């Protein structure tokens, strides 16, 4: 097959032959084929020899895209590899090769994801492209990148197109390769045969960590430059919007970033900057924005077998339970320090918990969802405990002011400012009715302000 690609691609119908062969190969390896690991192993054992084709920038775009799809099917992380305790050696070798090609051979710098409109070739003029890079919940599907050239020699500007399918598959392939490498490294570090004083083993793991960091940085630059995201756009936000139109890619990418983060924390990595870069909580918050905070979408993902969302949600809720303070901090940062981000996120989870509970009570859920339901209940309990604490703090601070009169409003707001982020000087010269009316205007936006108003009303009765 490599001989055909290198020497006979110019023959009539040779491209169709290559594409058909890759499609057949992918279908045989696919999890959906229901073949055993022993049966499929001969079909991916020597696939590492094809990795060097990824550096061949002369391949037609459609063949290159099918090649990426084949590699992605072998590294079936969300559906298979993430669930295995010990990964096959051939899979690990393939992941290592891809990581090495990105790090040492500038794979992401050489790949051509932009093509001139006149030479679309195998992509075609009707291919799915990107037009709008704004980070809104919906993304339109086409863009034309125009080369601003002037002069009489070329009166028609050259138009460029971004092959979004190729971009998605390359980004997902790199993420999967990193996730496999981290999982293998985590298994090695927990091996009882490796002593903490084994200097060589520790050095090897640190080298792997450094390689992972370099590859993630290169992937960040690759996506940012290709789609022209703002320089300050978080990496997780770019990933969510890159895969927002492809459900299976989207969920699997979130599983990868979550597992990479957990693996790095488990190892006490020497590169702590990777944790905020891959922040899985920020990914989830952005994901909820993309689905417009609709719990029905999450329920559909859980019921459907088209994605690995069950695995993702189970692992994410476990991560939230262990890192509740980080969850609170990230949700607040998503709302510029306010509490709306937390309330919006928890509202979706609480609705999802109630929907699942109703289905379970009627024996309508298609499988045993109890582990997820228990974790949702734990998150709900932590959320309620947080609000009980905030309410108690609000009442205690309000009761420190014995008189609620027009002359003490500034002092009231000074006390209130220790609880919520509002102007401490607001309310000067207003009547008590006007002051409470102001609280009414904001009470619908956050539960905390409702609790504050209640505390102030209780204080007037003291």
pLDDT (mean) for 364-381: 96
**Predicted TM-score (pTM) of this structure:** 0.77
Q: Which of 103, 98, 19, 95 has the alpha carbon at shortest distance from 52?
A: 98
pLDDT-derived band at 36 (thresholds 50, 70, 90) equals confident
pLDDT score of 245 more than 90: yes
Q: What is the pLDDT of residues 142-180, one digit of tens each?
A: 444 444 444 444 545 556 688 999 999 999 999 999 999
CA distance 162 to 145: 8
pLDDT at 438: 53
Tell which wins on pLDDT, 236 or 430: 236
CA distance 245 to 236: 16
- Contact criterion met (CB below 8 Å) for 341 and 285: yes
Could you give the C-alpha distances from 189 to 74, 213, 268, in angstroms and in order? 25, 18, 11
Identify the residue whose tokens are 């990914």. 283
CA distance 229 to 391: 41
pLDDT at 381: 94
Q: What is the pLDDT of residues 397-408, one digit of tens each?
A: 555 544 444 445
- As to burial, measured by CB atoms within 10 angstroms (0-12 exposed, 13-18 middle, 19+ buried), residue 405 is exposed
CB atoms closer than 10 angstroms to residue 226: 22
- Contact criterion met (CB below 8 Å) for 94 and 47: yes
- Write out the two tokens for 169: 């598959």
Buried b (16+ CB within 10 A) or exposed e, 194-205: eeeeeeebeeeb
Q: What is the pLDDT of residues 178-190, one digit of tens each?
A: 999 999 987 765 5
pLDDT-derived band at 283 (thresholds 50, 70, 90) equals very high
pLDDT score of 285 more than 50: yes
Q: What is the pLDDT of residues 440-457, one digit of tens each?
A: 554 444 444 545 555 555
- Contact criterion met (CB below 8 Å) for 285 and 349: no
pLDDT at 234: 94
pLDDT at 111: 87
CA distance 289 to 136: 8
Angle at 171 between CA 166 and CA 172, to 5 degrees: 100
* Coil/strand/helix, residue 423: coil
* Beta pairing partners, 161: 115
Could you give the C-alpha distances from 19 to 24, 39, 67, 115, 129, in angstroms and in order? 9, 23, 9, 20, 21
Q: What is the pLDDT of residues 81-134, one digit of tens each?
A: 999 988 999 999 999 999 999 999 989 988 888 765 544 444 333 444 343 433
CA distance 181 to 51: 16
pLDDT at 159: 60
pLDDT score of 48 more than 50: yes
């Amino acid at each position: 097959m490599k001989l055909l690609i290198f020497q006979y691609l110019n023959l009539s119908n040779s491209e169709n032959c290559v594409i058909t062969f890759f499609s057949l190969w992918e279908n045989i390896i696919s999890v959906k084929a229901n073949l055993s690991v022993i049966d499929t192993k001969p079909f991916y054992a020597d696939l590492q020899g094809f990795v060097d084709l990824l550096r061949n920038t002369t391949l037609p775009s459609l063949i290159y895209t099918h090649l990426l799809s084949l590699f992605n099917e072998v590294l079936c992380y969300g559906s298979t590899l993430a669930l295995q305790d010990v990964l096959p050696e051939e899979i690990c070798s393939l992941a290592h090769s891809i990581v090495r090609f990105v790090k040492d051979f500038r794979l992401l710098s050489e790949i051509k994801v932009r093509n001139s409109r006149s030479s679309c070739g195998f992509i075609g003029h009707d291919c799915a492209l990107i037009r709008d890079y704004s980070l809104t919940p919906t993304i339109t599907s086409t863009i034309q990148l125009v080369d601003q050239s002037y002069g009489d020699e070329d009166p028609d500007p050259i138009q460029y197109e971004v092959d979004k399918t190729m971009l998605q598959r390359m980004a997902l392939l790199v993420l999967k390769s990193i996730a496999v490498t981290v999982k293998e490294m985590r298994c090695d570090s927990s091996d009882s045969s490796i002593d903490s004083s084994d200097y060589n083993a520790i050095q090897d793991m640190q080298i792997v960590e450094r390689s992972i960091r370099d590859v993630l940085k290169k992937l960040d630059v690759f996506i940012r430059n290709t789609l022209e995201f703002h320089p300050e756009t978080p990496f997780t936000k770019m990933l969510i919007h890159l895969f927002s139109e492809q459900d299976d890619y989207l969920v699997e990418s979130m599983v990868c970033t979550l597992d990479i983060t957990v693996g790095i924390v488990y190892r006490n990595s020497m590169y702590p900057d990777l944790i905020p870069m891959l922040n899985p909580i920020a990914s989830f918050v952005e994901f909820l924005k993309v689905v417009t905070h609709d719990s029905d979408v999450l329920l559909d993902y859980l019921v459907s077998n088209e994605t690995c969302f069950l695995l993702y949600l189970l692992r994410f809720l476990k991560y939230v339970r262990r890192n509740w303070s980080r969850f609170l901090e990230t949700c607040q940062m998503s709302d510029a320090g306010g509490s709306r981000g937390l309330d919006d996120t928890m509202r979706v989870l609480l609705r999802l918990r109630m929907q699942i509970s109703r289905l379970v009570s009627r024996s309508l859920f298609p499988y045993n969802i109890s582990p997820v339901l228990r974790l949702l209940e734990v998150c709900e309990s932590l959320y309620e405990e947080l609000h009980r604490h905030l309410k108690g703090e609000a009442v205690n601070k309000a009761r420190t002011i014995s008189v609620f009169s027009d002359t003490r409003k500034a002092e009231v707001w000074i006390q209130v400012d220790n609880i919520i982020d509002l102007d401490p000087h607001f309310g000067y010269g207003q009547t008590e009715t006007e002051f409470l009316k102001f609280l009414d205007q904001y009470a619908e936006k956050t539960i905390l302000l409702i609790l504050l108003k209640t505390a102030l009303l209780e204080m007037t009765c003291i």
